[in-house]
Amino acid sequence: MNPAIVLALQLFGASELLRNGDGRNDAFAAVARFDNCTGFLVRPKASTPDSARAYLLTAGHCIDQSVTAVVRDRAVARTVIFHYFADTEARQVRIPAVRAAYSTMKGTDLAVVELAATIGELARQSIVPFRLAAAGAEAGEPVLSAGVPVTNIPDGEKFVRASRCTLGETAEVIEARWHWWSLHRTDCSDIWGGSSGSPLISRRSGEVVGMITTTNAGAAITEGDFRCSIGQPCEVVRGGFRYRAGTVYAVPVAGLPDCFRETGEFDVALTGCPLDPGRQLNVSNAAIAARPGAAWSAAISGTDFPRFRYKIVNEGEGDCRDPAGYSSPLPVEAGARITDRLPEREGRQHLCVIGVGSQPEQEPRFATLIHLRADATPPVIRPRFLMMEEPGRLHFQPVFVLPELGRYRYKVAGPDGEDCSDRESFREYLRVPIRVPRETVGRICLYGLDEAENPTPTVDLPMRGVNLFAGGVVNAASYGPVAPGSIVSIFGSNLSDEPVVLTDSAGAKSTLRVLYTDPLQINAVAPAGAAPGPAWIEHAGARVEFKIEPVSPGLFQGGGTLPDGTLLLAGTGFGTGPVELRVSGVRAEATVRRSEHAEGLDLLEARLPVRLRGWAPVQSAGNTIWLLLR
């Protein structure tokens, strides 16, 4: 046990910026900034001598983000900064990193980086290495994360921070093209960009039991293809996957001491080392998603093995590590490719490949795994775009929202009455904003496609005369549905100061109070007594149908905090409350009252059970905003 760590732990609650002017946090001097990541100095074994070369552990994606590569002995030219505390910048110690002894994102997310110093040389500068736990930690282990998050952290506070948390059960995890076995769930706070590679330190023993790798905390859209995409990891479960919102994942470090010689040198070939030695074939498939029934097109290449065996399992119904079910050996030759077809239903499949024909053969536990998702569901969000009137010209720019809106096709039709029905005449949007003479535009037609090329419905934007766009009556804060008494944004073309009239499902007509008008947008206030259900907006002879929901909350960007930590927020469509918010994953109940000075505006006050600082996502049922907490 390291008494200094255990003593310091008693000082922390939620994520806290560490200071060390008085030396009380010397135990965390070995937590380092490593470019845009965190790393930490380790003494692999108690017997490792001070004369041994120093090694830093960090996340594999901080070195190489290849899906299945295993990097060994790659030269690096980076700087590691120890003593990275907020109040001791003059005492920082900068050490060159000379090589990545090991790095991979295949099955785990871990890198071992050799430094241009010995353990003893760093110890003489008060940088005491962490000890690695020899055995795996159990769920429920109280831990502390210590890292250097930089995203969403105020300037002047981008130094080592610590957070109390608890180690959870392990899970098989998917994120975009990556796949990892046995990551621990955790509930650590303030895990943002820069936190990758942060050690998880047992609050009982002071030993490192895991390392932060990824999180889906703060995700704005958690439906459709957004689940399991980059920044939104999900878990493989029986029959498919499960998305656990607000979860932080960590790589276990059990067994890593067995990858170091008694002299302290890292060697992945040592007996007992649990890491993939990297002897494998190259397996790649261009697509990550395709329509049901489409064929795999997985290329097999490499020289480590003359032959390979493979199997394909439905997600949650098989395991690449199980030797059962692999094919007979097939030759690795030019153009070797796996072309099995996806099932005629939605779901993800895992392709497992092992090399054979030379000794030793590739163990199934180190099988190369890639996955392909069968997807027949159109995107869950409508095409998004920016449109602006410029002198004599129209500026139009589709907005990409990956992975659901990764491509767009469009058509700018002339004033001769051409419609949007013929998609064959659409062209690919090449990410160059469209600027056309205003008088030549009759309408703009647009649809988006997801990774499997499932299309959205076509958005038809007529630009001649006064038009109200279909789907263009929305909550002004969230761009979601409209609620009685909420502030509404109405989108169209050639809009004016003419009255805006709403007819609700009960047939009641109301002239809306208009807050703002330009040729493409009107902001107004829906009547508080409007009946939920189908409704219509009429303006200058144009008419569009939309739906009113009883409640449809949306937060406006902005807000602040009082000295006692109370959050002050503004929104619309919340109703009478109270409502539940999540602030950086922390639940908070908010009271709601209508503003006396701005019609349609809801004012929210929320008290957090813990004190948070920095940029934090604030989530309502309708949308997510980012707020700087001080």
- Distant-in-sequence contacts of 386-392, Cβ < 8 A, 24+ apart: 387/461, 387/520, 388/520, 389/438, 389/518, 389/519, 389/520, 390/435, 392/437, 392/438, 392/439
Is residue 612 over pLDDT 80? no
What rounded mean pLDDT belongs to the chain? 93
What does the DSSP 8-state code read for residue 329?
P
Q: What is the CA 290 to chain-centroid distance, rounded? A: 22
Compute the distance between CA of residue 480 and CA of residue 350 in angstroms, rounded to an integer: 36
Instruction: Find the mean pLDDT for residues 72-85.
Output: 97
pLDDT of residue 1: 34
Q: 3-class DSSP state for residue 212?
A: strand
φ and ψ at 559, to 5 degrees?
Answer: 135, -170
Break the chain down into helix, strand, coil percent, rounded to 5: 5, 45, 50
Work out whether strand 368-374 and strand 289-290 pair parallel, antiparallel, or are unpaired.
Answer: parallel
Compute the distance between CA of residue 622 and CA of residue 630 in angstroms, rounded to an integer: 25
pLDDT of residue 14: 62
Confidence band, pLDDT 50/70/90 cuts, at residue 621: confident
What does the DSSP 8-state code read for residue 512?
P
Q: How many residues does the chain have?
A: 630
Other residues' Cβ atoms within 10 Å of the Cβ of residue 328:
8
Q: What percent of the chain has pLDDT over 90?
A: 84
Q: Which residue has the tokens 């009641």?
A: 508
Instruction: Find the mean pLDDT for residues 382-392.
Output: 92
Compute the distance between CA of residue 302 and CA of residue 332 in angstroms, rounded to an integer: 8
Instruction: Find the mean pLDDT for residues 486-501.
Output: 97
pLDDT of residue 189: 86
Domains of the chain: 3-259 (2.40.10.10), 282-374 (2.60.40.10), 384-462 (2.60.40), 467-548 (2.70.50.70), 555-629 (2.60.40)
What does the DSSP 8-state code read for residue 319?
-
Compute the distance between CA of residue 455 and CA of residue 233 in angstroms, rounded to an integer: 24
Query: Residue 130 in contact with residue 43, Cβ under 8 Å?
Result: yes
pLDDT tens by residue, 216-247: 987 878 888 999 999 999 999 999 999 998 89
pLDDT of residue 220: 74
User: What is the value of pTM for the model shown?
Assistant: 0.88
Is residue 611 over pLDDT 80? no
pLDDT of residue 12: 29
Instruction: Find the mean pLDDT for residues 15-20.
Output: 91
Transcribe 382-436 into DSSP letters.
--EEEEEEETTEEEEEEE-BTTTB-EEEEEEE-TT---S--GGG-EE--SS-EEE
What does the DSSP 8-state code read for residue 9?
H
Instruction: Find the mean pLDDT for residues 524-533.
Output: 96
Query: Residue 361 in contact with residue 309, Cβ under 8 Å?
Result: no
Is residue 147 over pLDDT 60? yes
Q: Which residue has the tokens 């295993």?
A: 70
Instruction: Find the mean pLDDT for residues 10-29.
Output: 79
Q: 3-class DSSP state for residue 536?
A: strand
What does the DSSP 8-state code read for residue 6?
H
Compute the distance between CA of residue 274 and CA of residue 104 in angstroms, rounded to an integer: 13
Residue 209 belongs to what H/E stretch? strand 208-215
Compute the distance between CA of residue 357 and CA of residue 359 in angstroms, rounded to an integer: 7
Q: Taking Cα atoms as reference points, which of 392, 394, 373 lies closest to residue 493?
A: 394
Compute the distance between CA of residue 491 and CA of residue 237 in angstroms, rounded to an integer: 43
From residue 85, alpha-carbon distances to 124, 156, 159, 202 in Å are: 18, 11, 5, 21
Instruction: Find the mean pLDDT for residues 261-276.
Output: 97
CA dihedral sign, ordered 114, 117, 121, 125:
negative
Instruction: Find the mean pLDDT for residues 333-337.
Output: 93
Q: Taking Cα atoms as reference points, which of 39, 31, 216, 205 lies closest to residue 110?
A: 39
Instruction: Find the mean pLDDT for residues 99-118.
Output: 98
Transcribe 86-136 into DSSP letters.
TT-GGG-EEEEEEEEEEEE-EES-EEEEEEEEEHHHHHTTT-PPEEBPSSP
Instruction: Find the mean pLDDT for residues 484-507.
Output: 97
pLDDT tens by residue, 536-581: 999 999 999 999 999 999 999 988 888 888 899 999 999 887 898 9
pLDDT tens by residue, 450-489: 999 999 999 999 999 999 999 999 999 999 999 999 999 9
* Six-digit token string for 79: 């700087």
Work out whether strand 393-399 and strand 384-390 pair parallel, antiparallel, or are unpaired.
Answer: antiparallel
